[in-house]
A and B are shown apart, each in its own frame.
Chain A
């Protein structure tokens, strides 16, 4: 299985990047500040463990995409432009295995520190707000969906990285992907709904069924939707209302994450596989 060889090499190479450790450090620092602030106010910042996790999610919602994109957007193009890719591809690795290995390797470099940080933060949070049994299970589920959330952005970044050899376009594309996927998506869906319903306000109160799905396609929304499975949180409440269609159930969140991982990689690979290095 040659992708594992590539992955192991990539973990060693990318895992020694200082930038990544810096950004992960920022993540850890934010959590420390949060917990410190809670201690400072004698532990009344949050109502309970669920509330604590909900706050953590809002931080992860913008930082995990940032870390994942930073980690992935240079992965292929840097090797291609510098020339180290010809070393890997001189070996009996197919391009598909190279990409699979890169994805797996960067996935480890992304998830090991992020999930490690989460484990520590969860422990500290659990000490301050002792969780119930279901909240404990919910936290494990939350760690799992955070991993999927990060891998989706990593896949987008690696796909961009293998799509072209123009570094500026990849950088701009990554920047655009962050803006679009992290903040702009809802506005776009809302604007689409308003436009199609000729700006009648009531369209926004009684959304058409397909609009729910479009909202859910945003990774952070799928993340929120899935978070509801583990916690009784206000996040993702839209999809639990009585008006929401059946197909925005939690499993659709899993489908959305799977799509964010598989589709960009498949599209990127179909380009990368056919092109000259």
Chain B
């Protein structure tokens, strides 16, 4: 396509070509600071990751003596020690269960709610949407004590089920608001014609709204997965310390000792907990980037 356009275009005179080259060159020079800043930013992100990776193969002595040096040998002893000491296998299973179930539950509640709000025309819809927005105003700590009391009252304190029920409650405001905005981009005419063809509300949601809002759903999913996976305070307090219930984020600090922490083992354990998050991001990143791109084009 580009070639055809270029072929039809009359050749630029030499002076114009020179100007264009100068313009490109000037633009290139103008972009140098941006490139430098971008690389610096990338470096800032990579340095801590590099530090954790190399530390996972070192002893405490090496970590403190040569923090950024490459390990002198590659041994996976720190990984196996972290795995057994923190019971990471069970903890990973708990994290996957809690994170996955909570994410599914959040979508199951947020998608219909967002669909309803996106199509609502009356004041009630606006009021409900604002109600969801109010969820942002509640600080986490403010919810902690009532939540603990609630868990105790319903007899679900220090259980996985309460954590699974609690997580979606924290994620719903953002999920609903984001998905509502995505669903508003669906032309009403599509829904009207489908309805005229006899499609039910469910069919409209399933076959029209969901495919179009898929980048938004992916974005919400990945944000929720990251939040649920990394959640520490609430899972520590609401889930409790039992090795059979605790998540990786609660299990990992058991590798920390006030008097003598083995930082190589801790770094190895940290890497193990990062892998599932990284995999989830890889799987959903394309959809998330599409969503961001959509937002950029619209704006």
- A and B pair up: no
Which A residues are closer than 8 A to B by beta carbons?
A: none
